[in-house]
Amino acid sequence: MTAPLAATRLRSLTAKQAAVTVAVVLALSLVGSFAELFIAWRNTRDEVRAQATQMMETVDGSAVEAAYQLNGDLARQVVVGLVGYEVVDEARIVDNFGDTLGLTERTRDRSAWAGLADRLFGDVTVYSRTLERRRGDGASTDVGRLDIQLSPQAVARNFLDMAMVNAGLGLLRSLAIVALVVGIFYTMITRPLVRMSRLVSRVDPDHPGAALIPTLAGHAHDELGVLVASLNALLGSSQQGLDQRDRAQGELTALTQDLERRVAERTRELEAASEEIHSLNRMLKAENLRMGAELDVSRRIQQMLLPTETELAQIHGLDVATFMEPASEVGGDYYDILQAGDGRLRIGIGDVTGHGLESGVVMLMTQSAVRTLVTSDEGDAVRLLDVLNRTIYKNVERMGSDKNLTLALLDYRPDAPEGEHGIAGHVRVSGQHESIIVVRQGGKVELIDTMDLGLPIGLVDDVKDFVAEITILLHPGDAVVLYTDGITEAADSAHNLYGLERLCQVVAEHWQDNAEAIKEAVVADVRRHIGGQALYDDLTLIVLKQG
């Protein structure tokens, strides 16, 4: 592919060289030849003049004699003799009267060169010599004239012959010089350069170091040698560069592949993680739904077994008001009011630990158990709470649960114990729960601590040792308030708790009101305190007003 190009280059470089050399040399030799010709022409003219003069000198004696003697024959001899020279065209001797004594002419054909000859030498072809006869005493007499006319053509022919020979030789010399110069230049410079050019053009750009240029013979130490060395150095470093590039590319490819592999791995890991996240999400959503459903069930269980309005309306003798507001995450509050005949009431209030379905179930169990025991008319607090505790404890254990509950049981009778006067009713209290608030006439508040009346139900297997009972005597107008810690621990936006003190305060303020009014006052106050906050625990309130 590159060879034809080299060939074209080859021709044009050498040809250019040759053409230029030829042109220059020829131009120079042309100029030289012209100069030579000019000089030769000048020389020829001088020669002609000299020759003419010489000729006339030679015949001077005879011509003088002829003219002096008016000797026509002699004159003729002379002129014929003169015309014997090739170059002479006409010779004439003229006496001093102007008469021709002798004349010879040569007829010559005018050749094609005649015009040129005339121009070149026309002006040196006519000579005239005054014939002077010298007397013995040195005086000379003018006796006549000798005229000769040379042939320009003859002169020119000699001249031209010589000129052509010179020109021919000159041309040959020029050509020889041209050939030599071109040849030498070609050998010494053009050919090595062309060869190098061919070698360089054969270099594969992808493997420049594969074919270094061999040293040019004879040029190891000159500029061409330096050029070769430089080119080779260039090819070498270019090859190095390419090698480095290839290495770098290789490394880059390896890194890229490694990176791709790691990215793929990471992507797989992320996809797996994402899968996991999605699956966890699905599980959470399901769990959420389940818990939501559980809470609904729990709330329903709670509500199902609360004493109804109808039941409460049937209570006489004791003014009872109840309030229960379940929290959003149902808290497991329990209360119950069971009528045991003759105005006797069995009241229970309690709070199951934790939230959710389990708490609701424990509450349900408790309600059933309490009702069972009350219906069986178990009057002994210790026995009642012992049986209740064992029942709940065992069931909770079976459930694998840790739930337990506070539980206070109140046994109200609308009469006075033996020996008491002015008492309209009395309550026997057992079981551990929050304090019981008793508000007396005039708004005096008593707090009954239930810590020593029992233990949380379901916490330990045997509570007999911990159950005790106390009796609260009620005068007319006294009130008993039962609550769960949802009320005392109700928080506002700044996490301030409602508190037992505040509860007592409100109850005391309304000591004169009926149970419903006292209940409403407390509920309103608690609601006011909570503000817009959500409920975290059930609110349960029972107000008993002794009439």
Partner 1 sequence: MHMETVIKGDNYTVEWDAESRAAHLKGILRLNGLDEYGPIARFLSAAVSEGNMVLDLRNLEFLNSSGIAMLSKFVIEIRNRKVVDLTVLGSKEVSWQGKSLVNLCKLMPTLRMEII
Q: Which residues bind partner 1 (CB under 8 A)?
A: 353-354, 401-402, 404, 432, 451, 455-456, 459-460, 466
> How near is the Cβ of 271 to partner 1 at its closest, in Å?
30
Triad 24, 29, 35: Cα angle to 5°: 135
By beta-carbon proximity to partner 1, the closer residue of 246 and 489 is: 489
By beta-carbon proximity to partner 1, the closer residue of 363 and 518 is: 363
> How near is the Cβ of 532 to partner 1 at its closest, in Å?
24
By beta-carbon proximity to partner 1, the closer residue of 152 and 454 is: 454
By beta-carbon proximity to partner 1, the closer residue of 62 and 404 is: 404
Q: How far is CA 297 from the centre of its chain?
A: 59
Please name the residues in contact with 63: beta carbons below 8 A apart, sequence gap of 6 or more: 56, 75, 78, 93, 129, 131, 144, 146
Residue among 504, 492, 498, 506 nearest 534 (CA): 492
Give the pair of three-digit tokens for residue 353.
């630990």
DSSP tag of 39: H
By beta-carbon proximity to partner 1, the closer residue of 228 and 459 is: 459
End-to-end CA distance of the chain: 127
> How near is the Cβ of 456 to partner 1 at its closest, in Å?
7
By beta-carbon proximity to partner 1, the closer residue of 373 and 467 is: 467
> How near is the Cβ of 351 to partner 1 at its closest, in Å?
9
Note whether 159 and 150 are within 8 A (CB).
Answer: no
By beta-carbon proximity to partner 1, the closer residue of 124 and 405 is: 405
> How near is the Cβ of 250 to partner 1 at its closest, in Å?
50
43-78 per-residue burial string, b: 16 or more CB within 10 A, e: under 16: ebbebbeebbeebbeebeebbbbbbbeebeebbbbb
By beta-carbon proximity to partner 1, the closer residue of 83 and 457 is: 457
> How near is the Cβ of 365 to partner 1 at its closest, in Å?
17
> How near is the Cβ of 475 to partner 1 at its closest, in Å?
30
By beta-carbon proximity to partner 1, the closer residue of 199 and 291 is: 291
Triad 281, 285, 287: Cα angle to 5°: 115
> How near is the Cβ of 482 to partner 1 at its closest, in Å?
17
29 — alpha (psi -120 to 50), left (phi > 0) or beta?
Answer: alpha
Triad 66, 67, 71: Cα angle to 5°: 45
Residue among 51, 275, 277 nearest 148 (CA): 51
Please name the residues in contact with 155: beta carbons below 8 A apart, sequence gap of 6 or more: 44, 48, 87, 117, 120, 121, 124, 125
Give me the phi and psi of 145, to 5 degrees please: -145, 145
Please name the residues in contact with 481: beta carbons below 8 A apart, sequence gap of 6 or more: 436, 437, 438, 439, 503, 507, 518, 522, 541, 542, 543, 544
The rounded distance, in Å, linking the Cα atoms of 95 and 147 is 11
Give me the phi and psi of 70, to 5 degrees please: 50, 45
Q: Are strands 436-439 and 479-483 parallel, antiparallel or unpaired?
A: antiparallel
| Cα-only R_g, the chain | 78
> How near is the Cβ of 313 to partner 1 at its closest, in Å?
35
By beta-carbon proximity to partner 1, the closer residue of 302 and 432 is: 432
Mapped onto helix, strand or coil, the DSSP state of residue 236 is: helix
By beta-carbon proximity to partner 1, the closer residue of 93 and 352 is: 352
> How near is the Cβ of 460 to partner 1 at its closest, in Å?
6
By beta-carbon proximity to partner 1, the closer residue of 144 and 486 is: 486
> How near is the Cβ of 354 to partner 1 at its closest, in Å?
6
> How near is the Cβ of 401 to partner 1 at its closest, in Å?
8
